[in-house]
Amino acid sequence: MPSHDPRWVFKDRPSSALIIGLVLTGICTLVSFSFDVLNGEPVQFFIALALALAPVPLLLAAVLALDRMEPEPRSNLVFAFAWGAGVAVLVAGLVNSLNLHYIMDTVNLSEASARNIAATFGAPVVEETMKGLVLLGLLRFRRFELDGLTDGIIYASMVGLGFAMSENVSYYLAALNSEAGGVGLAVTVVLRGILSPFAHPLFTSMIGVAVAYAAQRHGPERTFSIMAGWSGAMVLHGLWNGLVSYGGFPGLAVAYLVLMAVLVVLVGVIIRDRRRIVALIQRYLPPYEPTKLVTSEDIHMLSALPRRRHARQWARMYGGRKGLRAMSDYQLAATELGLLHERAARRMVDEQTFHEEQRALLECMSTARAGFPVPPAPAGKAGYAPG
């Protein structure tokens, strides 16, 4: 049964399952880091950890900047990042090590050659599978959160960033312990931390797009899309590792061009998805104007990110944090209302669920509007003023 608080419809409250999951992923992260500590001096480990953590805030900010039209629950994003940094890295590291030893024991190759083979053909399968599992979990248990392809990209990027962060600790530590020492570390930091920080998020975004597409479909089409996305992530990952391992500088250049092409395509997908959400707002919200919870000015404001930001700035200027919270809640609830109508049109929610969520969203919008500030100046001079 829904809570008496209408904000339950935002589904951003940590559940017991989420808390247990975060504890388990945290334990896996500690176990993974413990292996790194055992492979080097504690001081070296903390140097590697600091270097791996340094770009994370900036990278997270870049990903979250894409998640502004219909922000995902922070609890889900935290779990995706933690899964990548903990469970995925730990299991993938163990399996990759076993694969490497198997190749070295069965094929007469040098360790370097065996590592290149494992990185090109084994690691992509293992790592993308482990990262992709959390996306399958979202499809199974949080399907209602996957409202569009952008959501899949966001969750995939979060798990990819978590994975890359923990993996970089191992790479930086190995570079410190190598004969090259500080020089090797500097080269590794440039290659992994500066030139390719979005590699893992881009690989896994293939799965994210496929899972988000599957969330909007029924029947065999869902399975096909997931298999295609999974294969795409593995191929892209393997292509990157192969070009870096065997191609030298030309191979590295080609690998970056491939990643840039994928990035451009994904940005195009996000832009198209935003236009879709705007179209839903403009289609489904005008019938609510007689309720006085939505006006033509509100719909105009909701239809562009700059105008949304201006409205939040207006609310904060005249209402402080309380006003900002009210405006943010209003924007989210109104956007979710448009998406709810789309899910109903696609028969992804039953009639009872639709009416329960519709009622909660309208109540959220009513509560939020009641919290809008009243500027001291006339509305025309105050910037955005709700109708």
For residues 303 and 183, is the Cβ–Cβ distance under 8 A?
Answer: no
pLDDT, position 37? 67
For residues 83 and 159, is the Cβ–Cβ distance under 8 A?
Answer: yes
Within 10 angstroms of residue 63's Cβ, the number of other Cβ atoms is: 20
pLDDT (tens digit per residue) in 257-266: 999 999 999 9
| Segment among 98-102, 108-112, 162-166, 207-211 with least mean pLDDT | 108-112
What gap in Å lies between CA 190 and CA 94, rounded to an integer?
Answer: 26
Q: Looking at the predicted structure, is the pLDDT value of residue 196 above 90?
A: no
| Segment among 39-48, 139-148, 166-175, 268-277 with least mean pLDDT | 39-48
pLDDT (tens digit per residue) in 334-379: 999 999 999 999 888 889 999 999 999 999 999 999 999 887 655 5
Q: Looking at the predicted structure, is the pLDDT value of residue 283 above 80?
A: yes
Confidence grade of residue 219 (pLDDT, cut at 50, 70, 90): confident
With a CB cutoff of 8 Å and minimum separation 6, the contacts of 134 are 79, 80, 83, 84, 88, 155, 159
Indicate the domain borders of the chain.
Answer: 6-270, 286-381
Runs of H (alpha helix) within 118-148: 123-141
pLDDT, position 12? 60
What is the residue type of 86? G
For residues 156 and 205, is the Cβ–Cβ distance under 8 A?
Answer: yes
For residues 358 and 2, is the Cβ–Cβ distance under 8 A?
Answer: no
Q: Of 81, 91, 128, 162, which is closest to residue 237 (Cα–Cα)?
A: 128
Confidence grade of residue 14 (pLDDT, cut at 50, 70, 90): low
Confidence grade of residue 24 (pLDDT, cut at 50, 70, 90): confident
Confidence grade of residue 108 (pLDDT, cut at 50, 70, 90): confident
What gap in Å lies between CA 339 and CA 70, rounded to an integer?
Answer: 9
What gap in Å lies between CA 97 and CA 292, rounded to an integer?
Answer: 62
What gap in Å lies between CA 107 and CA 7, rounded to an integer?
Answer: 59
Within 10 angstroms of residue 91's Cβ, the number of other Cβ atoms is: 17
For residues 332 and 270, is the Cβ–Cβ distance under 8 A?
Answer: no
Q: Looking at the predicted structure, is the pLDDT value of residue 1 above 50?
A: no
Q: How many residues does the chain have?
A: 387
